Amino acid sequence: MNAEARPVVRLAGNSVGALAAMKGVFVRDMKVAFRQRQDLLNPLLFFVMVVTLFPLGVSPEVSFLREAGAGILWVAALLSVLLSLDHLFRHDFDDGTLEQLVLQPQPLFLLILAKTLVHWMLTGLPLVILTPVLGVMMHLDGNSIGILCLTLLIGTPVLSLIGAIGAALTLGLRSAGVLLSLLIIPLYIPVLIFGTGTVAAAAEGATVGAYLALLGAFLVLALTLAPFAAAAALKISLSNG
């Protein structure tokens, strides 16, 4: 008799679909985040402060800021996302929520996708919303600010998704924060290059549709691959704990 053909005990009558489970994860993470509203501001403050360092540390001249502004904002956003990544799984790991997440019957990569979506909505998205203000302070013109926001809007989810892999790999390790940066920064370079490059190309009057499409392709690639890698990494990290 074929073992796989045997009837399997199925008692959990109403099986929960992946979408409902993702919604459950999303709602819980959002609730937890909003119970600690102060923490939501930290990456934003960090973003603003890093940007402030450049006029102070390099030059407040309009010509410099206009040329370097987009790059500075991109680097600051990247660092800010990086800083917040450490928390993506850490609290869940410490209190055991992560174990229960892995043991949910739905595919783990989808649940991770839901968690990453929360992370992006609470860090990446606010950065994009804040960017016009800082763009004006960096003397960027309106067109550049628009393009910059667009590249950040497409680029920051990629940062969150790739970052999830790093956060999962370094879970439960000593000095996880520094290690996370070491692992992830090289992988962020293409996004940074195309993010800032698009703004630079726009400033030179080139059409940016193709560049934005390429950034979009990065996003699609990250959406399809990163959750799988992060799921595999999470299982490994949990197995170690």
Partner 1 sequence: MWQFFHKLGSPKWFFGISTRFMPWLLAGGVILLMAGVVWGLAFAPEDYLQGNSYRIIFIHVPTAFMAQSVYIMMASAALVTLVWRMKLADVFVKAVAPVGLVLTFLALFTGAVWGKPTWGTWWIWDARLTSMLILMFLYGGVIALDRAINDEKSAARAVAVLVLVGVVNIPIIKYSVEWWNTLHQPATFKLTEKPSMPAEMWVPLLLSVLGLYLIFGWLACVRMQTEILSREQRTRWVREFVMKGRV
Partner 2 sequence: MQFVHRPDFGALMSEPLLQAVNLQCERDKRILFRELSFSILPGTLTRVEGPNGSGKTTLLRILAGLNDAWTGELKWCGAPLASQREAFLRNMLYLGHRPGIKPLLTPLENLRALMAGRNPLSDAALRQALQGTGLGGYEDVPCRNLSAGQQRRVALARLLVADEPLWLLDEVFTAIDAEGVKALESLLQQRADEGGAVLVTTHHDLTLPGMKRLTLGAGGLPDER
* DSSP H helices in the chain: 18-35, 37-57, 62-85, 87-95, 97-102, 108-119, 125-137, 142-169, 176-203, 209-240
Decide if residue 23 touches partner 2 (CB under 8 A).
yes
Q: How far is the CB of 101 from partner 2 (least distance, A)?
A: 8
Among 43, 84, 170, 212, binds partner 1 (CB under 8 A): 170
Q: How far is the CB of 233 from partner 2 (least distance, A)?
A: 13
Candidate ranges 1-9, 12-20, 37-45, 162-170; the one touching partner 1 (CB under 8 A): 162-170
Distance, in Å, from the CA atom of 173 to the CA atom of 79, rounded to the nearest integer, reads 21
Decide if residue 56 touches partner 2 (CB under 8 A).
no
Given partner 1, partner 2, none, residue 99, with its beta carbon under 5 to 8 Å by kind, binds partner 2
Query: Which residue's CB is nearer to partner 1, number 47 or number 218?
Result: 218
Among 69, 218, 78, CA closest to 148: 69
Decide if residue 27 touches partner 2 (CB under 8 A).
yes
The helix-helix angle for 108-119 and 18-35 (nearest 10°) equals 30
Candidate ranges 22-30, 86-94, 101-109, 186-194; the one touching partner 1 (CB under 8 A): 186-194
Candidate ranges 25-33, 48-56, 155-163, 211-219; the one touching partner 2 (CB under 8 A): 25-33
Print burial letters for 42-59: b (CB count within 10 Å at least 16), e (below 16): ebbebbbebbeebbeeee
Tokens of 217: 């392709």
Distance, in Å, from the CA atom of 229 to the CA atom of 168, rounded to the nearest integer, reads 9
Among 235, 233, 231, 238, CA closest to 112: 231
Residue 147 half-sphere exposure, CB side, CA atoms within 13 Å?
29
Among 43, 126, 157, 197, binds partner 1 (CB under 8 A): 197
Residue 112: Cβ within 10 Å count: 28
Query: Which residue's CB is nearer to partner 2, number 138 or number 171?
Result: 171
Q: What would the x/- binding string for partner 2 be over residues 89 to 128, using CB under 8 A? A: --x--xxxx-xx-xxxxx----x-----------------
Angle CA(108)–CA(44)–CA(190) in degrees, nearest 5?
A: 60
Are the C-beta atoms of residues 140 and 149 closer than 8 Å to each other? no
Query: Which residue's CB is nearer to partner 1, number 27 or number 213?
Result: 213
Are the C-beta atoms of residues 67 and 203 closer than 8 Å to each other? no
Query: Which residue's CB is nearer to partner 2, number 32 or number 137?
Result: 32
**Residues near partner 2 (CB under 8 A):** 3-4, 6-16, 20-21, 23-25, 27-28, 31-32, 35-36, 91, 94-97, 99-100, 102-106, 111, 235, 238-239
**Residues near partner 1 (CB under 8 A):** 162, 165, 169-170, 173-175, 179, 182-183, 185-187, 189-190, 193-194, 197, 200-201, 218, 225, 229, 232-233, 236-237, 239-240
